[in-house]
Amino acid sequence: MKLVGGRFNIWEDLPRPFFILAPMDDVTDTVFRQVIGRCAPPDLYFTEFVNADGLQSPGRKNLLKKLQFTDKEQPLIAQLWGKVPENYAKTARELVDMGFAGIDINMGCPVKAVLKNGCCCALIDNRELAAAIIAATQRGVAGKLPVSVKTRLGIREIDLSWHEFLLNQNLDALIIHGRTARNMSDVPADWQTIAKIRELRDKIAPHTKIIGNGDVLTRAQGLALSAEHELDGVMVGRGVFQDPFVFAEQSPWPDYTKEQKVALYRRHVELFAATWKDNQRNINTLNKFCKIYISGFDGAKELREQLMQAKSAEALLKILAS
């Protein structure tokens, strides 16, 4: 990593434009990141969001699994959410020693329960607390790791004063999901507004990297969008559900046979079983992935129905071997 202004900064070291695997709760754990990494690795990984207040509470042990990683998923940024600045500072200090390449703060999750609690997207309307959270995280890393924010375009409406505010917080990167909280995922991502935020960045904070996010399904599409809007990078979330090789220059997925797809799911299940012992993660979380691999061939629906009934990794592997 490069030393920038006296500190290491992974954001400076990535190729341009770079591709990031998006944080997805209960999806992008160490197991899935390893599966994607073996198919076609992104330039940068994120953890699922982890609650900083929970990490500094007796519930900590249960949350640490979200921070678990291997040296195959590198570089990796830890994403935090929560409400209490001091808990961000304490957690940031701990993350420095755990081997992460940076810390990202979630100011974009639109889930109602989270909003009601004043976290994530709700911070758009509470700039005093947002500034305190960013400052506490920056204090916690003490210049040893970069700090970024992932956010949306606004709560109810597009609100560029929010991005102007963020660009004045000395962030290393700003990741923009091109929708408002009210939009949830119901309308297409608005890349024109992401481009306006990049223009703001050029004026206010040229050192802050701008990453666009929303609806990118292929590498070619990501390259075109980043070139058109002059972005530093692109983040891809649900695109990996349609193509686990989405980060490859030439994806082999369209030609994948049934046998190859089943073998890939088998690898996922085996890794899951080896990683999450003693029900650390519910076996049902695997059902989310079933459709990725078990689709696009004759009998896929029937096989999926069978697999969804399985109550253990052993049972899943038995069906996949038959």
Ligand X SMILES: Cc1cc2nc3c(=O)[nH]c(=O)nc-3n(C[C@H](O)[C@H](O)[C@H](O)COP(=O)(O)O)c2cc1C
Catalytic residue numbers?
Answer: 109
Question: What's the Cα-to-Cα distance from 7 to each of 2, 58, 145, 207, rounded to whole Å?
Answer: 8, 33, 7, 14
Q: Is 244 in the site for ligand X (CB under 6 A)?
A: no
SS3 assignment, position 81: strand
- Least distance (Å) from ligand X to the CB of residue 47? 8
Write the CB contacts of 197 (distance below 8 Å, at least 6 apart in sequence): 160, 163, 174, 176, 210
Q: With CB under 6 A as the contact rule, which of the stretches 103-111, 160-168, 261-269, 311-319 interacts with ligand X?
A: 103-111
- Closest by CA to 232, choosing from 154, 146, 156, is 146
Nearer to ligand X, 119 or 236 (CB): 236
- Least distance (Å) from ligand X to the CB of residue 203? 25
Distance CA 90, CA 52 (A): 9
Q: Which residues of 186-223 are buried (b: 16+ CB within 10 A; e: fewer)?
A: eeebbbebbbbbbebbeeebeebbbbbbbbbebbeebe
End-to-end CA distance of the chain: 47
Question: What's the Cα-to-Cα distance from 177 to each of 90, 185, 189, rounded to whole Å?
Answer: 27, 10, 7
Instruction: Give the x-and-dash track for 175-214 against ligand X (CB under 6 A).
Output: --x-----------------------------------xx
Q: Is 25 in the site for ligand X (CB under 6 A)?
A: yes
Q: Is 103 in the site for ligand X (CB under 6 A)?
A: no
Find the helix or strand (DSSP H, E) in which 80 lies: strand 76-81
Nearer to ligand X, 148 or 303 (CB): 148
Nearer to ligand X, 22 or 320 (CB): 22
- Least distance (Å) from ligand X to the CB of residue 36? 13
Of 9, 17, 18, 23, the one binding ligand X by CB under 6 A? 23
Pick out residues in 248-307 that bind ligand X (CB under 6 A): none
Q: Which amino acid is at 202?
A: D
Of 215, 225, 245, 251, the one binding ligand X by CB under 6 A? 215
CB atoms within 10 A of CB 112: 8
Q: With CB under 6 A as the contact rule, which of the stretches 19-27, 154-162, 202-210, 268-276 interacts with ligand X?
A: 19-27
Nearer to ligand X, 122 or 320 (CB): 122
Distance CA 121, CA 129 (A): 12
Q: Is 24 in the site for ligand X (CB under 6 A)?
A: yes
- Closest by CA to 99, choosing from 10, 214, 196, is 10
Nearer to ligand X, 150 or 198 (CB): 150
Of 90, 196, 238, 258, the one binding ligand X by CB under 6 A? 238
Nearer to ligand X, 102 or 239 (CB): 239
Q: How many of the chain's residues bind ligand X (CB under 6 A)?
A: 21
- Closest by CA to 21, choosing from 273, 245, 261, is 245
- Least distance (Å) from ligand X to the CB of residue 5? 27
Evaluate whether 80 touches 91 at the Cβ level (below 8 Å).
Answer: yes
- Least distance (Å) from ligand X to the CB of residue 152? 8
Binding site for ligand X (CB under 6 A): 22-25, 27, 48-49, 79, 106, 108-109, 150, 177, 213-216, 236-239
